[in-house]
Amino acid sequence: MSQAKDTVARLLTLLRHIPRAPSFVATTTLQEKLRDRGFSVDMRTVQRDLNRLSSLFSLMCDERVTPYRWSFTKDAYLDLRDVDPSTALALHLAEGHLTSLLPQSVLDLLAPQFRRAHDYLDGLEENGLADWARRVRTKPNGKALQQAPIDSAVWQAVSTALLERKCLKVSYLSRSKEALKELVIHPDGFVSRHSISYLIGTVEGYDDPRQFALHRIQWAECLATPAQERATFDLDEFLSSGFNAPAPIKEVDLVADISSQIAWLLRETPLSPEQRMEALPDSDWYRLHAKVPDDQETLWWVFGLGENIVVHSPIQMRDFIIEKGQHMLLRYSPNNGCHMVQPVNSNHHQLDRSIK
Each residue of 308-343: pLDDT tens digit? 999 999 999 999 999 999 998 888 887 766 655 555
Helix (H) or strand (E) holding 61: strand 59-62
> Which of 187, 209, 240 is the C-terminal boundary of a domain?
240
d(CA 42, CA 25): 17
CA distance linking residue 119 with residue 295, whole number of Å: 45
Answer whether residue 319 is part of any domain.
yes
For residue 41, give the nearest of 31, 29, 50 by alpha carbon. 31
| Cα dist from 61 to 24, 53, 56, 80, whole Å | 9, 11, 14, 21
Its pTM stands at 0.57
* pLDDT tens figures, 87-137: 777 887 788 777 756 666 677 778 878 887 877 777 766 666 666 666 776
* Per-residue pLDDT, 352: 43
| Residue where a domain stops, chosen among 72, 104, 120 | 72
Q: How many domains does the chain have?
A: 4
Q: Is the pLDDT of residue 1 over 60?
A: no
Residue 27 has pLDDT above 90, yes or no: yes
Domain presence at residue 258: yes
Residue 145 lies in a domain: no
For residue 59, is it within any domain? yes
15 and 46 share one domain: yes
Q: How confident is the model at residue 57 (pLDDT cuts 50, 70, 90)?
A: confident
Domain containing residue 66: CATH number = 1.10.10
Mean pLDDT of 226-232: 85
Instruction: Give me the domain span that covers residue 297.
Output: 251-336
pLDDT of residue 347: 44
Q: What mean pLDDT comes out for the span 161-170? A: 90
Same domain for 232 and 300, yes or no, is no
287 within some domain: yes
Cα 197 from Cα 187, distance rounded (Å): 14
pLDDT at 278 over 50: yes
Dihedral of the alpha carbons of 73, 77, 79, 80, in degrees to the nearest 10: -50
> Is 121 contained in some domain?
yes
Order of strands across the sheet with 286-293? 275-279, 286-293, 251-258, 309-313
- Of 240, 271, 287, which marks where a domain is finished? 240
Same domain, 287 and 319: yes
Question: Can you tell me the mean pLDDT for 288-316?
Answer: 92
> Which amino acid is it at 288?
L
| Element of type H or E holding 236 | helix 235-240
pLDDT range class, residue 354, cuts 50, 70, 90? very low
pLDDT of residue 351: 42
Q: Can you give the pLDDT at residue 245?
A: 60
Looking at the structure, do residues 215 and 271 belong to the same domain, yes or no? no
Q: Is residue 307 in some structural domain?
A: yes
Task: Kindly tell me the sign of the dihedral angle through the C-alpha atoms of 187, 144, 75, 79.
Answer: positive
Residues 50, 55, 56, CA angle at the centre, nearest 5°?
95
Residues 168, 91 share a domain: no
**What's the pLDDT at 244?**
57
Mean pLDDT of all residues belonging to the chain: 82
For 289, residues 6+ apart whose C-beta sits below 8 A from its C-beta are: 253, 254, 255, 275, 276, 277
Task: Check whether residue 21 and residue 98 sit in a common domain.
Answer: no
Distance CA 123, CA 106 (A): 27
Q: Do 7 and 31 belong together in one domain?
A: yes
Higher per-residue pLDDT: 179 or 219: 219
Taking alpha carbons only, the member of 9, 89, 25 closest to residue 59 is: 25
